[in-house]
């Protein structure tokens, strides 16, 4: 069943539908920019718990392949931070040969049936160079064949969100209307004023400290600065001399030493889930459920987006459509 966009939106509020919503970072960014979120889709049950704690609109908790386009309301903007593992170094760059990469064609099913005014996609920087650029060219070609005028850019959270995290992601924006496309520009860089220590609590719960770790002596010897973040690399400690938090990833939820380390007022510890959320630009009032294990929270935040970057792009989309 094909749905057509009602361009005479009586409320004049542009409506958004989100695929691969996770905990709702993209939806939150668009909401902050003045859009109305109509619905979203997410398959992970723990991410869905966090999502529902923070968003009141309809969430379809199911595999996207099982979500029919006639189940969802008409929208103006279709968003999707589709699974990046298939295109990332950590995912061995299998791309469309990986089921997670093939979900892009599920996005196209929604594009074909809903025909949104705007498509907004987010993925890892490596998507652009995957398979010598062929993967990215397929994505652009499939959108352009459907009448979309497409722009894309790699943005770093530390340069566009006033968030001290080194996080490069590619953002793809497609407009049905050529005039709107011509008006659209990606946001301008923002001066970074926030520092790592601004986002770190003085002390944390005991479970986050490393004083009982077999690596504690080595960490104590090598970790000296309180104004940066460290990473344990199997046999050595890496100091991030850029004074930026390294890219937060879903691997933080797999245990081990994948969560960055800091020195607080008490001792050496890993970042808490709340601190990781701050490095993604989430407000303090964003709910992280106590009933969800920290491992799941780390994964959710690592899989998420930097909210102020999304908000800045969404504002530019709104301006282009006005």
CA torsion angle for 181, 186, 187, 193 (degrees, to 10)? 170
Token digits of residue 217: 């002596």
pLDDT in tens, 236-258: 899 999 999 999 998 888 877 78
Do 172 and 120 meet the contact criterion of CB atoms below 8 Å apart?
yes
Is 289 one of the annotated active-site residues of the chain? no
Sheet of 261-263, strand order: 236-239, 230-233, 261-263, 268-270
Taking only the tens place, the pLDDT of each residue in 275-314 is 999 999 999 999 999 999 999 999 999 999 999 999 999 9
Q: Quick one: pLDDT at residue 97? A: 53
Instruction: Specify the higher pLDDT residue, 160 or 82.
Output: 160
Q: Where in the chain are the domains? A: 15-192+305-321, 196-301
Q: How many Å apart are CA 171 and CA 162, to the nearest integer?
A: 18
Mapping DSSP onto H, E and C, the string for 157-216 reads HHHHCCCCECCEEEEEEEECCHHHHHHCCCCCCCCCCCCHHHCCCCCCCHHHECCCCCCH
User: Crossing angle, helix 104-114 and helix 134-145, to 10 degrees?
Assistant: 10
Residue where the block lists tokens 């808490």: 272
Q: pLDDT tens for residues 112-148?
A: 999 999 999 999 998 898 778 888 998 999 999 999 9
SS3 state of residue 146: coil
Architecture per CATH, 15-192+305-321: 3-Layer(aba) Sandwich (3.40)
pLDDT for residue 98 is more than 50: no
CATH of domain 196-301: 3.90.120.10
Task: Label residue 8 by pLDDT band (50, 70, 90).
Answer: very low
DSSP characters for 232-255? Answer: EETTEEEE-TTSSBPPP-GGGGG-
Catalytic residue among 84, 245, 276, 289: 84
3-state secondary structure string across 123-134: EEHHHHCHHHHH
- Non-local (6+) Cβ contacts of 148 within 8 A are 119, 174, 175, 176
Provide the 8-state DSSP code for 260.
-
């Amino acid at each position: 069943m094909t749905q057509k966009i009602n361009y005479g939106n009586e409320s004049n509020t542009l409506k958004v539908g989100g695929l691969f919503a996770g905990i709702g970072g993209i939806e939150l960014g668009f909401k902050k920019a003045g859009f109305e979120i109509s619905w979203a889709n997410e398959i992970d049950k723990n991410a869905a718990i966090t999502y529902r704690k923070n968003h009141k609109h309809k969430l379809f908790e199911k595999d996207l392949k099982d979500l029919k386009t006639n189940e969802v309301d008409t929208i103006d903007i279709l968003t999707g931070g589709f699974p990046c593992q298939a295109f990332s170094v950590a995912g061995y760059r299998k791309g469309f040969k990986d089921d997670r990469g093939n979900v892009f064609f599920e996005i196209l099913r929604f594009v074909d049936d809903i025909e949104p005014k705007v498509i907004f996609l987010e993925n890892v920087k490596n998507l652009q160079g995957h398979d010598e650029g062929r993967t990215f060219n397929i994505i652009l070609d499939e959108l352009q064949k459907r009448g979309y005028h497409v722009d894309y850019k790699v943005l770093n959270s530390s340069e566009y969100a006033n968030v001290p995290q080194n996080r490069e992601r590619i953002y793809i924006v497609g407009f049905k209307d050529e005039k709107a496309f011509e008006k659209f520009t990606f946001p301008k860089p923002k001066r970074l004023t926030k520092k790592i220590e601004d986002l770190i609590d003085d002390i944390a719960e005991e479970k986050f400290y490393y004083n009982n770790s077999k690596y504690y002596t080595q960490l104590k010897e090598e970790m000296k600065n309180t104004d940066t973040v460290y990473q344990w690399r199997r046999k050595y400690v890496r100091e991030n001399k850029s004074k930026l938090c390294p890219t937060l990833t879903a691997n933080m939820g797999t245990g081990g030493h994948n969560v960055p380390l800091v020195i607080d007022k008490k001792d050496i510890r890993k970042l808490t889930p709340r601190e990781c959320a701050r490095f993604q630009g989430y407000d303090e009032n964003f709910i992280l459920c106590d009933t969800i294990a920290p491992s799941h929270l780390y994964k959710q935040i690592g899989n998420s987006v930097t909210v102020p970057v999304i908000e800045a792009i969404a504002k530019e989309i709104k301006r282009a459509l006005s």
